[in-house]
Structure formats: C-alpha cells, structure tokens
Amino acid sequence: MSDPLAKAEAAVTEATSNTDLVQQIVIALQVQQALNGSQQQPSCQHQQSQFDTKKWLTIGGLACVGACVACALAFAFALASIALAIGGTCATACLLVLRSMWRDFQRGR
C-alpha cells in the first residue's frame, strides 16, 4: 500500500514543481514584455500630409491653360512666318517686274 501512496506523493510533488516552473516562465515572459514595452523605438515624428485635391486641380488647370497659351503662340508664330514668306515672295516678284519695266523704259521701248 505504501507503494501506490509513494507514487501519488511523487506525482503531486512533480505537479507542484511543474506548476512552479510554469509560473516562473509566465513571470519571466511578463518581465520581458514589460522591458520591451518600456524600450520601444521612437516612432517616426514626420507629419504625413493629407492629399490636397484643390491644390492639384489648380496646378493641373494652370498647366492646361499654360499649354493652351503656348500652343496659341506657336500657331500665331507659324501663321506670321507663312505670311512673311508669302510677302517676301510677292515683294521679290514685284521688284523683278518693276526692274524689267524700268529697263524697258530706260531703253525707250
């Protein structure tokens, strides 16, 4: 009878030591978490700005207006260049005709 009783006492002692071991592990984990919580790395201090829709619509609108103005100026320059070329051609033709007429007039024809 003492043999089963001794086995039961040994099981109780082992369970008690296991419970103490588990409690020590839990305490060690809690201490570790407390230390990690107090030594957290500082978080980023930058302010993340909100997306400003009005600002970007204004910038986009001004870019479109600027592109339209540049296009209109380029078109006006192209038309002016064409007009200058036509004018130069007409002036050259007119001067050639007038020179020919002047020569004929000088020769008495």
Residue with tokens 């043999």: 3
Report the pLDDT value the prediction gives residue 97, as an integer from 0 to 100.
96
DSSP track, 42-65: PPP-PPPPPP-HHHHHHHHHHHHH
What is the pLDDT, as a whole number, of residue 18? 72
- Give the CA distances from residue 34 to residues 22, 27, 31, 38, 44, in Å, rounded to whole numbers and listed in that order: 18, 10, 5, 6, 22
- pTM for the whole thing? 0.44
Token pair recorded at residue 4: 């089963």
- Kindly state the tokens that stand for 63: 């870019």
What pLDDT does residue 95 have? 96
